[in-house]
Structure 1
Amino acid sequence: MKKWGSILQVSFTYVGTVVGAGFATGQEILQFFTRYGALATFTIGAATVLFVWLGVKLMLIASRLDAKSYEDLNNLLFGKRIGSWVSLFTLVTLFGVSTVMLAGGGSVFAEQLHVPYQAGLLITLILAYMLLNRGMDAILAVNTIVVPLMALFSILIVWHTWGSPGADNWLQLKSDQSIARIWFSPFLYAAFNLAMAQAVLVPLGAQVKDRTVLIWGGVIGGLCIGIMLIAGHFALSAQMPGIDQFDIPMAHVLRRIGTLLQFLFVLVIYGEIFTTLLADVYGLALQIEQRLRMSYRIIVPILLLLSYAISQFGFKTLISSLYPLFGLFSLAWLVLMVWHRSGSGRSPH
């Protein structure tokens, strides 16, 4: 039972790290999958295989290396000289995503709970600071609460859509996009999310020494991500083509479900934003600690205050300017993860 508890903690942390604000709102699922029609079911299948295979591989490599941060993994994949630059770019991008998540937390408070944006930012900052001081244990604990809520939400949207007039759309929708573009999408999606998730999956793999726990945690986590993608795609397809005009398409899907479930939906979105914020700042702090030999407890508040300063630009502005920069780099990282032979390489320490 203790081993299964550890497996579930690893799988929940994997899901919570990958699944962010774009996933909860439905925007990511719509852009990467649903708008490509009936083939999205197969492309979600391809993305799920990548999440299972490479999530497990990443954690096992980190465990074997006893990696202190994702820089050790990048040095193995790219070589020490290029790996150092890749890690620096990853650091900048993770910081960018941290500011996006913090801004997203403020936006949820402002738009959904009618609490001022600045108050939402400060509440999120204080909660993040308290939990990050407890390290990986706090990240595991938060994901053990948030991820089951996400799973419940996925079940709710499938149940709500089942029997609706457009319920068969996910198997029938047409797309005028090229086959090449349709099949490029799951690789880009998996690459971006796995490259970001390494911030937590690398130290998690190094901390958990049991290979069985890492393998099953990665398999269950990857499959859960795939199931939640299918659930979201099923619900969004039923509302196509009109659904793609909304910023938060999932809110439109659930517009008639009642106040209590809408409040639960807001909690799920906030939970997903918050777990991603924790994951990114934690990974950043470990990386900076390794590079500069500063104390983790000094780095965390500095990172949070810098994120607060940049989050003043707002959620939409940050997401549209920062996210596209990471795409091609993520694909290069994915290719090297696929080709890396797990038996090669030694600890850089």
Structure 2
Amino acid sequence: MVRNGLMWMFLIIGTMIGAGYASGREIWEFFGAESGLAIFLFTVLFIICCYVVMHISFKHQSVHYLPVLHILMGKRISKLYDVMIMVYLFSTTVIMLAGGGATLEVIHLPFWAGVVILAAFVVVLFIWDIDGITTIHTVITPVLILALVGVLLAFQSLHGFPLHFIEGNQSNWPSSLTFTALNILPLISVLGAIGQKIKQKGEILIASIGSGVILGSLTFLYNSSLLEVANELVVYEIPLFAILQHYPYYMVLVMSGLLWVAIYTTAASGVFGIISRIRGYIQSPAWMLALLLVAIMAPLTMFGFSTLISVLYPLYGVLNLYLLSSIILYPILNHRTIRNKLE
């Protein structure tokens, strides 16, 4: 139980820690000053969301996210979110492929070569189907977390551990809602696909509480570190590099490599979510479906997606608040049913 619980925990964390999170950009956009309470609320909300989604997925033995959506908001509205999730997964995976190409330009590889390399890694991963995606997260995610924690703790020690928790009026607490809401779609797409793989309810507790506590703690530590270099962040596209500016150059290279790994895990999770949804319509091995998807996506990396994302992300943020409220209200509206099942 513990082993499987930890495996799902790392799958959740690996899905969350994409390039945006690992680089610090996503954290700085949502949090910043007066965010101690916001990060605490995010931790609680995230634990609740993971538990509810995994509980529904396990109860209905789902192999993709649609049954979870049906339970949370009914069949009519879930059709809208079904389309949203597919568009979200497709667009973010295209951006990850483009990001992989841009990242490898640092070592003087052509952009297209970087895209092909990342796409090839994604396809190879799906030779092992769902076992491949869970294994890669179980192996890579702890390394990524340890590297980030190590860098951030070393940075904090240089500044006397100025951890910013309760200060000011904590006016940024609403960011906990939008930050959680924006991360709901990939979470449901992945957790909705593992219902048949969960063996015991204890795995759900370990995965949801463990991932929430680790992500909340890491977010707090990262945000506190970014506050120390807040005046310099306007110069850096990647906030993490503002923290690394006083480190040796090899550290920048190491963390750039880890950012590429974060891009890889995000791209793999996106493809996994799409494959789990379309498998009922296309009967093919997972690696062939992955190959088909990246073949369609690769040419699209040559175009600019900033306009697309500037339109989609605010839309997701608003619409996802409804989904977030549905998840939070689910235990309240169904507490009698859940209690009877537990008794």
Correspondence for 1:28: 26
Residues 22/315 of structure 1: CA separation in 2 closer, same or farther (3 Å cut): farther
Correspondence for 1:56: 51
Correspondence for 2:98: 103
| Mapped contact 1:58–1:198 kept (Cα < 8 A) | yes
Q: How many residues align?
A: 334
Distance 2:100 2:246 in 1: 24
Return 23-32 or 241-250, whichever deviates more. 241-250
Residues 321/81 of structure 1: CA separation in 2 closer, same or farther (3 Å cut): closer
1:275 matched to 2:250? The reply is no
Residues 4/48 of structure 1: CA separation in 2 closer, same or farther (3 Å cut): same
- CA shift, 1:103, in A, is 1.2
Render the CA deviation track for 1:152-192: whole Å, top value 9, x for unaligned. Answer: 222223333224458537358769xx93xx22211111111
- CA shift, 1:81, in A, is 2.3
Distance 1:236 1:205 in 2: 37
| Mapped contact 2:53–2:192 kept (Cα < 8 A) | yes
Correspondence for 1:183: 173
- CA shift, 1:250, in A, is 0.5
1:327 matched to 2:317? The reply is yes
Counting only pairs closer than 5 Å after superposition, residues 205-220 of structure 1 correspond to structure 2 as 205-220=195-210
Correspondence for 1:14: 12
| Mapped contact 2:36–2:166 kept (Cα < 8 A) | no
Equivalent residue letter for 2:14: G
- CA shift, 1:59, in A, is 0.7
Q: Which runs of 5+ in 1 are unaligned?
A: none
Equivalent residue letter for 2:255: F
Counting only pairs closer than 5 Å after superposition, residues 64-143 of structure 1 correspond to structure 2 as 64-110=59-105, 112-143=106-137
Residues 128/100 of structure 1: CA separation in 2 closer, same or farther (3 Å cut): same
- CA shift, 1:22, in A, is 0.6
Render the CA deviation track for 1:196-218: whole Å, top value 9, x for unaligned. Answer: 21111111233112111121112
Distance 2:329 2:248 in 1: 49
Correspondence for 2:284: 295
- CA shift, 1:303, in A, is 1.3
Give the RMSD, CA atoms, in angstroms.
2.3
- CA shift, 1:336, in A, is 0.7
Correspondence for 1:196: 186
1:221 to 181, 199, 211: 211
Residues 109/324 of structure 1: CA separation in 2 closer, same or farther (3 Å cut): farther
Equivalent residue letter for 2:278: I
Distance 2:313 2:283 in 1: 29
Equivalent residue letter for 1:101: M
Distance 1:246 1:316 in 2: 18
Render the CA deviation track for 1:33-67: whole Å, top value 9, x for unaligned. Answer: 11xx1x21111111111111211111111000111
| Mapped contact 1:281–1:303 kept (Cα < 8 A) | yes
Render the CA deviation track for 1:209-260: whole Å, top value 9, x for unaligned. Answer: 2111121112111111111111211211111233244210101211222233
Return 140-149 or 322-331, whichever deviates more. 322-331
Equivalent residue letter for 2:114: G
Q: Secondary structure at the match of 1:68?
A: coil
- CA shift, 1:315, in A, is 6.5
Render the CA deviation track for 1:5-31: whole Å, top value 9, x for unaligned. Answer: 222211111100111111111101111
Distance 1:252 1:202 in 2: 37
| Mapped contact 2:42–2:176 kept (Cα < 8 A) | yes
Residues 269/296 of structure 1: CA separation in 2 closer, same or farther (3 Å cut): same
Counting only pairs closer than 5 Å after superposition, residues 239-250 of structure 1 correspond to structure 2 as 239-250=229-240
Correspondence for 2:341: none
Residues 45/210 of structure 1: CA separation in 2 closer, same or farther (3 Å cut): same
| Mapped contact 1:131–1:139 kept (Cα < 8 A) | yes
| Mapped contact 1:26–1:250 kept (Cα < 8 A) | yes
Distance 1:240 1:132 in 2: 41
| Mapped contact 1:63–1:206 kept (Cα < 8 A) | yes
